A and B are shown apart, each in its own frame.
Chain A
Amino acid sequence: MTDASLSTLPPALANPRKPARFALARRTIITPILLSLLILAVAIVTVMTGSRPFNQAMIDIMVRVVLVVGLYIFIGNSGVLSFGHIGFTCLGAYAAAWLTINPLMKKTSLPGLPSFLLEARLPYWQSAIIAALFAGLAALIFGKVLMRLSGIAASIATFAVLAMINTIYSNWESVTGATSSVVGIPIVRVIWPYVGAAIVAIFIAWGHAISRSGLALRAARDEPTAAAASGVDIPKERLIAFAISGVIMGLGGAATAHSIGVVTPDTFYLGLTFITLAMLVVGGMSSLSGAVIGVLLLSALIQALRWLEAGVPLGSTTFALPKGLQEIALGVIMIVILALRPAGLIGNREITLFRVNRNK
């Protein structure tokens, strides 16, 4: 971005003409299109194999694409690490559960819900939209406070948000069923809604990244002092990104709820935080392509390790990894990748059709 505008500076000075209105959009739209095609390709292959466990695994991947793209919107563009986003996923998942479980079941299992929620029984796509907006609202409220902090302090304070949401949802017996699982969420086994959610998330992330606010935020990430001096209101731009990513995390939460049909508070705690952050960082924290590719790569790796953990027949004996090694291997691989490539596999570039473009 900066390079391009610098090189065209002299003619622009001679002839102060505004750049074509959607020039930036036209130049960068190829990235989300390519990423969506990649995801569609994965989905089509899945449908063609017709195997049910494979289908479920691919649905999990689509859900994670939504979550990691949601993380990218805030972390990638602002450069501030957040550990609290899975809390918004938790909010979204429970909101989706409240809206879609059969009212008869809700009356016995979650009697503390307000009556409009008790009677509600929406189709899954409506509940997903409401869940996403609910999580976004929560992110807006929390963000209003958190975004005043400096980078590292904000990161740790987001941890407090995660722990706070987890404490509330693990103890509020009548509304969230405390630590026992909430069952009866209608399960959607077709892959297309999840593919749709992933593509929507990718396009929202792209739209935000090329918006005025997204550009200002990335400028503040790279040169905070210069950006502030040029009139970028850093807390405000961070807050916008935080709220948008909260919406996407809520959407991801609703998708998680509908993909497995059960929610517990501990599904949305440190484990998921770690996995999603790992995917984002390994792929490349400040790149949308990095987010998507990180999900695909690490999901494949996790799947392979799970397969090894379950045991592989090797001649007459079965070769199986001891339990827990999957996580250890994942952690070690992450550390190695970070040590070798601190900016992630993709770095801060994006995939485009003609060449790998530097996205600054």
Chain B
Amino acid sequence: MLQIVFDSLSLGSLYALGALGIALIFGVMRLVNFAHGDVIAFSIFALLWPSTDAMAIVFAGQLPWYLLIPFVLLVGAGLSVLCEIVVFRRFRRANPATMMIASFALGFVIRYFLLMLFTSRPKSISLLPMLSQPVEIFGARLPLLQLITIIATVIILIGLTLFLRRTRFGLEMRAAAENFSMARMLGIRANRVIMGAFALSGALAGAIAMIFGSQTGTVDIQMGASIMLMAFIATVIGGLGSLAGAVLAGFLLGAASVIMQVVLPVDARPFRDAFVYGAVILVLLFRPQGLIAARGTKERV
């Protein structure tokens, strides 16, 4: 029982962090960033040396953990900011559909860039191997990693909340999310806020990459896609643009996946994700605006 709780919390953490990364960018520029999943994949591949072998040649991955973690986060943030400067800045005035397609294309470019360097074969990698030992808590044996995932997520969430609530930059970002043109008129620099949002979102992508990479022990150029899909769905269920909603919905999706894995009969288990998507559509039937509807997303006339 406790095992289920921890499983769903740690899966939910991944989805929540992903959803947060997407919701942050959506909040400030109404961009649904389809390249997010590929930023996740990229930040983990940055640890490897380009090769076509199945066994990964670790390059930066041998750093001690206190350097490794900042490195991955920085790679994610850097790539994300680069995407903003090179691509998304050109689309500030475009309508959301055009931006969405552009981000889709950008994600494609990043993915095939990785494919060119690393081929499409999944590679095995052991990141932070000391985390895979089990620990015993309240009579349940869990991998230490699961515990750390949950703790790290909680720390990230608290940190982000403090950042958004207590710092000037956080205030600017929240103001921009609420009403972008009004915020600009009151003297908030658009470029700075948007780049800040991209950097945060990229760092979150790096965090997901770390957690996911050490959980599965393999890296794959497709690995971002499945998390990203769930994260997108979480942002929609949570209410587009609402950060709290995104996190809540991420944890709910994680819980739903784990519970269905346990409850469903064995024959139906491969279809778990289909059931989760079906449940999502049902939720949207009853709350089309999401669980927590954000202010400022509804178009004013």
Interface residues of A (CB under 8 A from B): 79-81, 142, 145-146, 148-153, 155-157, 159-161, 163-164, 167-168, 171-172, 224-225, 270, 274, 277-278, 281, 285, 322-325, 327-328, 330-332, 334-335, 338-339, 342
B277 contacts partner chain A, Cβ-Cβ < 8 Å = yes
How many A-B pairs have beta carbons closer than 8 Å: the answer is: 136
CB-nearest residue of chain A to B272:
A167
Complex CA gap A13/B20 in Å reads: 56
CB distance from B282 to the nearest CB of A (A): 8
Q: A168: which B residues are within 8 A, CB to CB?
A: 271, 274
Contact of B277 among A163, A171, A172, A327 (CB under 8 A): A163
Stretch in B63-71, B95-103, B257-265 touching the partner: B95-103
Complex alpha-carbon distance, A346 and B275, angstroms: 41
CA distance A285 to B100 in the complex (A): 13
Q: Are A152 and B32 in contact (CB under 8 A)?
A: yes
Q: How far is the CA of A184 from the CA of B87 in the complex (A)?
A: 45
- What's the least CB distance linking B141 to chain A, in Å? 30
| A332, B96: Cα distance in complex, Å | 19
Q: Are the C-beta atoms of A338 and B271 separated by less than 8 Å?
A: no
Complex Cα spacing A157 to B285, Å: 11
**B277: which A residues are within 8 A, CB to CB?**
160-161, 163-164, 167
Residues of A near B270 (CB, < 8 A) are: 167, 171
- Contact stretch, chosen from B41-49, B159-167, B172-180, B228-236: B228-236
- CB-CB < 8 A to B105: which residues of A? 274, 278, 330-332, 334-335, 338
Chain A CB within 8 A of B284 CB: yes
20 new A-B contacts, CB < 8 A, other than A157-B233, A332-B109, A342-B98, are A80-B97, A150-B288, A151-B97, A153-B236, A155-B32, A156-B233, A156-B235, A157-B236, A163-B277, A164-B274, A167-B273, A171-B274, A225-B301, A274-B108, A327-B111, A328-B116, A335-B105, A338-B91, A338-B94, A338-B98
Q: Does B281 contact A (CB under 8 A)?
A: yes
A81–B101 contact, CB under 8 A?
yes
B280-301 vs A, CB cutoff 8 Å, 1 = contact: the mask equals 1100110011100000000101
Do B281 and A157 have beta carbons less than 8 Å apart?
yes
Total number of B residues with any Cβ neighbor in A under 8 Å? 45
Contacting residue for A146 out of B95, B113, B232, B281, CB 8 A: B281
A164 to B102, CA, bound (A): 24
B101 in contact with A156 (CB, 8 Å): no
Q: Is the interface of A mostly helix, strand, loop or mixed?
A: helix
| 5 closest Cβ pairs, A-B complex | A171-B270, A324-B116, A331-B109, A164-B277, A327-B112
Residues of B within 8 A of A151 (CB): 96-97
When distances are taken between beta carbons in the complex, the residues of chain B under 8 Å from A79 are 97
- Bound state CA distance, A325 and B225, in angstroms? 20
Taking CB atoms and an 8 Å cut-off, the chain B residues in 32-84 that contact chain A are 32
Q: When the two chains form their complex, are residues A281 and B274 in contact, meaning their CB atoms are under 8 A apart?
A: no
CB distance from A168 to the nearest CB of B (A): 5
Contacts of A171 on B, CB cut-off 8 Å?
270-271, 274
Task: Report the minimum CB–CB distance from A79 to chain B (whole Å).
Answer: 7
Nearest residue, chain B, Cβ from A144: B285
- In the bound complex, CA of A224 to CA of B300 (Å): 12
CB distance from A347 to the nearest CB of B (A): 12
**Contacts A81-B97, A160-B233; A167 near B112 (Cβ below 8 A):** no
Return the chain B residue nearest A83 by Cβ: B104
Contact B271 A153 (CB under 8 A): no
- Contact, CB under 8 Å: B288 / A324: no
Q: Which residues of chain B are near A159, meaning CB under 8 Å?
A: 229, 232-233
Whether B115 sits at the interface, judged by CB under 8 Å, is yes
- Let me know if A338 and B281 touch, CB within 8 A: no
A171 to B87, CA, bound (A): 38
Q: Is the CB of A335 within 8 A of B281?
A: no
Is B288 touching A155 in the complex (CB atoms < 8 A)?
no
Provide the residues of chain A in CB contact with B113, threshold 8 Å. 324, 328
Chain B residue nearest to A155 (CB atoms) is B100
A321→B283 CA distance, assembly (Å): 47
Contact A270–B225 (Cβ < 8 Å): yes
Set of chain B residues within 8 Å of A332, measured between Cβ atoms? 105, 109
A160 engages B280 (CB within 8 Å): yes
How far, in whole Å, are A148 and B289 apart by their CA atoms in the complex? 10
Q: Distance (Å) between the CB of B207 and the closest chain A CB?
A: 22
> What's the minimum C-beta distance from A83 to chain B, rounded to whole angstroms?
8
Query: In whole angstroms, what is the CA distance A159 to B106 when docked?
Result: 18
16 residue pairs of the A-B complex, CB under 8 angstroms, read A148-B284, A148-B288, A149-B284, A152-B32, A153-B284, A164-B277, A167-B274, A225-B301, A322-B116, A324-B113, A328-B113, A330-B108, A334-B102, A334-B105, A335-B102, A338-B91
The residues of A that contact B240 with a CB separation of less than 8 Å are 152-153
Beta-carbon nearest neighbor of B282 in chain A: A145
